[in-house]
Structure 1
Amino acid sequence: MSLPSWMADVALAVGLFALFGLLLLVFAGTGAAGELTRNIPLAVAVCAAGVVPIAVRRWVWVSAVAVAVVTVAAVPLVGGNTTEGISILIVIYTAASRLRPTTAAGAVGIVVLGIAGALVLSHAQPLVWALNGLEVLIAFAVGSVRRTRLAFVSALEQRAIAAETTRELTARDAVMAERQRIARELHDVVAHHISVMGVMAAAARRTLRAHPEVADEALTTIEETGRATLREMRRLLDVLRDEQDTALPTTPQPGLPGLETLVGQVGEAGLAVQLTVEGEPVPLDSGVDLTLFRIVQEALTNTLKHAGPTRAEVVVRYGLADVEVVVTDRGKGPAGGGNASGHGLVGMRERVGLYAGSLYTGPGEDGGYTVRATVPFDRPAAKTRGSRT
């Protein structure tokens, strides 16, 4: 198992310091280091400072460059090179491999100025200048190659991820298209079965008294057709159900009793909403209940997105034969002052039309925006009457 990058940097810095410290002690005992050992405490301090850029180079590269330049400038004071030589090369490599080319060039330029100053103060020979310049160029070139390779690998990974995502979406679209085709075919089968059941029920009613045996056959056919229809309906639902839905726990669909929770959630999102219920609440068909809840939810969502800083009011009115929900706000209203359009409003119209209700979406009487939906209790679906969108 590989060490984290910061631990590897610290370990490298500690190891380098230990190695140079050991060599310094050996040289001090033999006198082979010459001027390097004329001030042992200062040499040890510079040696310790020289490994600091290695430990922090990935996180605070500006500080790493600054410390590296300072330690290079201290070389003439200690009479020879310590850890700063290797530290400088590592810092240059890190800057070239991790920073943008222009930033890396600037950082390396500062380091080169520090090296040049140290060489001038130490009266270095031309060969020393050439060797130092070659080392800097090699470290910078290796770091640049590393950065280019990492960028290339990252681009390849992104392309692979994009290609995989595209393949998954294409496969999913193909599956959904096939499911829709199968659903249409099963819908035709179910519709045929239901038509047969209606015809056979009418025949049984007409022949029940005069020819009970004929009526019995018709009822048997209705029974068998009903069972077949139920099986086909189950297959139809299996086809339409998303694969991921089967793994999720089933929860009750929301309805008007859940508006208080919805208002609280919208309030947490930054929109103050007042909820008012007028009339005596009555039990509603689950489809009507869900339709009215979704309309209020979509209207409040649109207010959050488009109305700007404002307040909203939700009114639920229970009538003798229908339920009305009104969502109003005092926001800036739709662009141009006219009725807005969009997928959300189209969904509202479709839901209300399914239950033969009416829908208005547009400017309010006192400005802002208003969504008003009225849905009857028990009325067969028909065209949306008087809807305006």
Structure 2
Amino acid sequence: MQVQDVCRQWFARHERARDALPAVLVVVVAVAASAAADGGSGWHTPRAGAAAWTALACLPLVVRSRWPLPVVLATLAVDLTHLARVPDFSLSPAASLVALYTLATRSTRRTAWTAGLAASLAITALYAVSRSVSPLAGDSLLRFDLAIAATALGDAVRSRRLRLARVEARAENAERTREAEARRRVTDERIRIARELHDVVAHHMTLVNAQAGVAHHLMRTDPDRAYQALAHIKDNSRTALDELRATVGLLRQPDDAPDSRVPLPGLADLDALIGSLQAGGLPVRFERTGLVRPVAPATDLTAYRIIQEALTNTHKHARAAEALVALDYGADALRVTVTDDGRPGAPKGPGTGHGLIGMRERANAIGGTVTTGARPEGGFRVHAELPLALAPGNHPKPLAPKGP
């Protein structure tokens, strides 16, 4: 098997040698046939004329891969002339058979079969005339069948090559598609985790920073309130660590050692969120309208994160006296609105804009929308419309289990 592979690779690199190999074999067989005595009783000196005609017919085969149709015409012309001049030589159409096979493997089916049928009829007719036999005689039909068989074999080889090429192309395309899908999933998961980390860190660190400032300011004048601010810092930092642990736990493999996890937050945790912000100095009002009912887990988390980010931005960037969180349960959508009364000229802290981008990405991921902008009467407004139940194509991969 290894020798065959080496030979195949060598002939693949040397096209002329590959094309000439059948010609050499035909000439060798023709010389041997011309040296065989009639009836198989012995051997004699090869007939130079028959060998020369065969070699002349095989000469165009050296370029059969490059010009298959002209080679068919050239070999057929020589073979027919040889057949007319030496009708008793049985190998006269051999070069034409090789050329017909090559044409069928390298041209269209219509061209191959047109040339094959024409060559079969010409060879059969000339053989019958030169031997004065019927075209339907056995020897005449044998030459017709040989030309048809050479064309059919070449057509079968061409079809097999095309089928293998299509299979390989589909396999390569499937491999590329799998790789692209894997890269897309990795990118989506990376963005998802980045959003989680941003929301957790931005919210809790903002509260810790604000409460630390309060504690620092009141440490000497009002130790009791400073002590309360430090207690809030402790609570918020512990909550941040728990949420970070749950988020980073997404990166674990299924067979990793189990670790403690906390449930990802949802609308049921809004009271704790609002309480932490109020402890940090931002009064927040909360309103619910419509028929309150359970929502899809992804919508639950998305609504919470949007409210969390909006209130964090209000606390961090605006001098707002109050913020309002409103949930409106519609027939098939949950409308989330967060507004504040920050003054238009209020100084704003440095920001990257990732929070607003994260809101939109979260909403888009489950088929919702988010609009943000300044209010004409002052302040800022974040409004989101999220589906209560997700469509089959909008179910994102769960970020973490809702339980320990």
TM-score computed with the length of structure 2 as normaliser? 0.45
Higher relative contact order (CA 8 A, sep 6+): 2
Question: Rg bigger for which structure?
Answer: 2
TM-score computed with the length of structure 1 as normaliser? 0.47
